[in-house]
A and B are shown apart, each in its own frame.
Chain A
Amino acid sequence: QSVLTQPPSVSGAPGQRVTISCTGSSSNIGAGYDIHWYQQLPGTAPKLLIFGNKNRPAGVPGRFSGSKSGTSASLAITGLQAEDEAYYYCQSYDISLSAHVVFGGGTKLTVL
């Protein structure tokens, strides 16, 4: 069971908007620690998508956006495209764990 909870799957039609939630607690997101998002296309390594809650690395389309509020964070994808079909993972820091680095359980995005 991941410390950060994500829905196992979401889906949307091309052109639509989808959101993926990442729910934590007072020892991670709620403590003010940043959330980062990664995209993992089939058969490939993860790729940084959003860092510091809402910032996009160079080359990531503006269709991807992140937000954080309270003990949760969200990744939004607008203008959904077929190539967005992938797994998405959130990551943060947790003060209650000796290891501190935590990932969400991942969400499979299906483009219908």
Chain B
Amino acid sequence: EVHLVESGGVVVQPGGSLRLSCAASGFIFDDYAMNWVRQAPGKALEWVSLINWDGGATYYADSVKGRFTISRDNNKNSLFLDMNSLRPEDTAFYYCAKDTASSGFNWFDSWGQGTLVTVSS
């Protein structure tokens, strides 16, 4: 059974930095692209970033480009999101989601439970 567990969500001040992690199990991690999707409280889902199976290709939503960096460690079955220059509008639950293609841009067949990032002074 696929299991995705996010961690790292905390309260951080505007302008601060944070690293989110997602521990994966139950599937061959380096066979699939991975995504981060966020959801502000009471709002819709917003795709944030995608990394392909080997980390050689990354993509970002315009809202986070230049501030967030997605990465993965296939030896440790882990996905990361480094978040810099955080803004109040980045406040959201952040979900890691497993893609169904190695290069990404398919559907997301498994999601973690989410971790809450709050950007506030």
Contact = CB atoms under 8 A, between A and B. Distances in A.
A46 B45 contact: yes
Interface string A70-112: 0000000000000000000101010001111111111000000
B97 to A, nearest CB: 8
* Max count, chain A CB within 10 A of own CB: residue among B50, B108, B109: B108
Contacts of A52: 107
A106 B47 contact: no
B32 interface: no
Interface residues of B, number: 24
Interface of A: 2, 34, 36, 38, 40, 44-48, 51-52, 57, 89, 91, 93, 97-106
5 contacts: A46-B37, A46-B45, A57-B109, A100-B105, A103-B46
Contact of A89 (B45, B62, B97, B113): B45
Contact of A103 (B44, B50, B105, B111): B44
A45 B109 contact: no
Given A98-B62, A101-B35, A47 B44 contact: no
Contacts of B108: 36, 38, 46, 48, 91
A95 B45 CA distance: 19
Given A103-B44, A103-B47, A106-B44, A91 B107 contact: yes
A51 B107 contact: yes
Given A46-B45, A89-B45, A104-B44, A99 B59 contact: yes
Contact of A99 (B62, B100, B110, B112): B62
A57 to B, nearest CB: 7
A38 B39 CA distance: 14
B45 A99 contact: no
A89 B114 CA distance: 17
Contact of B112 (A38, A40, A45, A93): A45
Contact of B45 (A48, A57, A103): A103
B107 A101 contact: no
